[in-house]
């Protein structure tokens, strides 16, 4: 274990950026906190108290827009210039335990069968420094998904206690980074302090409204057709305005589109986030397999609660971060969906 004073963090970040590592940390801009590239200018607005960034750290492993290649067509000849794979090391600092799990969910999709090489390269360059949730919010329900907000995962875990950061490396990547910045850290044996902090977090989490257990046992792949055909989706989806906010702020929403941008001399092919909430998501020349918003709404929740678990050994693709609970303009969210299935029809 190591320690560093909160006030000394900018110095640590500066050391890393000087040595060629990008640092992304939660920074306040106006009334929003998001992970931003660390520079001297943002040092004063570093915000480790706000629990959740508006956007999830998904951006760093699966960017909203990813350039794949440039194509030129001259004299009927197509030439492709492939985008290089990510090769610059970076640190995401202050990732909450739910968001760490969110990246693990993405890993289970993008690092397997077949491996997405753009994702793999970017993921390999990143070190995740997680931050325990000393002040969980009413909208948090990570515990329902067996995520322990007191024991953050990632490469290095941090507990912020009295303006001092308790630093514990968890992986080889974390150990390497720790070695690199060792001269800025103090050795620490305050295990009791961390344990007390963990206990405090766990008590707070247990007192949250959604921690009393969401009826997730209702969502099992063997009941796929039963849940899919349930009449409750009609009522649940009625208020959905198809804005797609839930999919963009979600740390695990992973669907992408592949598009071309004609830049005049060349065509840029890129992939970008897409949303199953949009009507053209499944539109084909011969028709659309999901014609109503009910079908699109159902797809999103079925994917999180039944389809993804069916493909990934029971792992739900919701991490209980509560962003959709906060941000949906129609007050729809996954908690409402899960709870509505509590009683069998």
Partner 1 sequence: MCCSTHDELIPQIGVITAIKTETSDVKTFSVVLADGKGKAFEHMPGQCAMLSVPGIGEAMFSITSSPTNTECMEFAIKACGKLTDYLHTLEVGNQITIRGPYGKPFPVDDVLKGQNILFIAGGIGFAPVRSVINYVLDKRENYGDIDIVYGARSASDLVFQDEINTRYKNDIHLTVDRQEEGWTGNVGFVPAYLKELGFKTDKTAIVCGPLIMIKFVLAALLEMGFKKEQVFTTLELRMKCGFGKCGRCNIGSKYVCKDGPVFRCDELDTIPDEY
> 261, 65 in Cβ contact below 8 A?
no
- In whole angstroms, the minimum distance from the beta carbon of 181 to partner 1 comes to 33
- In whole angstroms, the minimum distance from the beta carbon of 19 to partner 1 comes to 29
C-beta of 189 vs 229, nearer to partner 1: 229
- Measured between alpha carbons, how far is 328 from 197 in angstroms, rounded to an integer? 32
Q: Which stretches does DSSP call E strand in the chain?
A: 2-5, 22-29, 32-37, 65-74, 77-82, 90-95, 126-131, 156-161, 164-169, 186-187, 256-262, 267-273, 283-284, 287-288
- In whole angstroms, the minimum distance from the beta carbon of 293 to partner 1 comes to 14
- In whole angstroms, the minimum distance from the beta carbon of 122 to partner 1 comes to 12
Could you tell me the two tokens for 56?
């999830």
- Measured between alpha carbons, how far is 311 from 305 in angstroms, rounded to an integer? 11
Question: With b meaning 16 or more CB within 10 Å and e meaning fewer, what string describes 177-215?
Answer: bbeebeebbeebeeeebbeebbeebbebbeebebbeebe
Q: Which positions lie near partner 1, rule CB under 8 A?
A: 68-69, 71, 73, 76-80, 82, 85, 109-110, 113-114, 116-118, 221, 224-225, 228-229, 254-258, 260, 262, 267, 269, 271, 274, 276, 281-286, 289-290, 295, 299, 302-303, 306-308, 310-311
- In whole angstroms, the minimum distance from the beta carbon of 203 to partner 1 comes to 38
Give bridge partners of residue 186 from the DSSP assignment: 3
Q: Which burial class, exposed, middle or buried, applies to 231 when counting CB atoms under 10 A from its CB (0-12, 13-18, 19+)?
A: exposed
Helix (H, G, I), strand (E, B) or coil at 344: coil
C-beta of 71 vs 185, nearer to partner 1: 71
- In whole angstroms, the minimum distance from the beta carbon of 66 to partner 1 comes to 9
- In whole angstroms, the minimum distance from the beta carbon of 73 to partner 1 comes to 7
C-beta of 242 vs 255, nearer to partner 1: 255
Task: Give the pairing of strands 22-29 and 156-161.
Answer: unpaired
C-beta of 40 vs 257, nearer to partner 1: 257
C-beta of 18 vs 286, nearer to partner 1: 286
C-beta of 28 vs 294, nearer to partner 1: 294
- Measured between alpha carbons, how far is 259 from 264 in angstroms, rounded to an integer? 15
C-beta of 39 vs 289, nearer to partner 1: 289
């Amino acid at each position: 274990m190591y320690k560093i004073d909160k006030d000394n963090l900018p110095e640590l970040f500066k050391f890393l950026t000087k040595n060629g590592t990008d640092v992304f940390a939660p920074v306040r801009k106006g009334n929003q906190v998001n992970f931003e590239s660390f520079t001297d200018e943002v040092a004063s607005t570093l915000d480790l108290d706000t629990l959740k960034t508006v956007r999830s750290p998904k951006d760093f492993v699966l960017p909203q827009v990813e350039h794949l290649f440039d194509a030129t067509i001259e004299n009927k000849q197509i030439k492709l210039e492939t985008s290089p794979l990510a090769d610059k090391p970076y640190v995401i600092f202050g990732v909450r335990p739910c968001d760490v799990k969110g990246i693990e969910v993405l890993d289970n999709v993008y690092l397997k069968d077949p491996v997405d090489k753009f994702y793999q390269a970017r993921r390999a360059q990143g070190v995740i420094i997680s931050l325990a949730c000393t002040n969980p919010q009413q909208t948090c329900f990570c515990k329902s998904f067996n995520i322990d907000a007191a024991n953050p995962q990632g490469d290095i875990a941090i507990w912020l206690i009295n303006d001092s950061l308790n630093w514990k490396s968890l992986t080889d990547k974390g150990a390497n980074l720790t070695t690199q910045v060792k001269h800025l850290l103090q050795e620490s044996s305050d295990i009791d302090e961390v344990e007390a902090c963990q206990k405090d977090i766990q008590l707070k989490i247990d007192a949250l409204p959604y921690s009393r257990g969401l009826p997730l046992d209702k969502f099992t792949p063997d009941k796929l057709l039963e849940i899919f055909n349930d009449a409750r989706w009609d009522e649940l989806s009625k208020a959905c305005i198809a804005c797609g906010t839930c999919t963009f702020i979600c740390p695990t929403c992973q669907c992408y589109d592949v598009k071309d941008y004609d830049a005049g001399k060349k065509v840029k092919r890129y992939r970008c986030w897409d949303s199953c909430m949009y009507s053209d998501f499944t539109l084909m020349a011969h028709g659309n397999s999901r014609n109503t918003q009910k079908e699109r709404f159902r797809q999103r929740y079925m994917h999180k609660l039944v389809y993804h678990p069916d493909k990934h050994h029971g792992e739900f693709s919701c991490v209980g971060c509560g962003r959709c609970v906060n941000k949906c303009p129609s007050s729809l969210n996954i908690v409402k969906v899960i709870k509505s299935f509590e009683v069998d029809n």
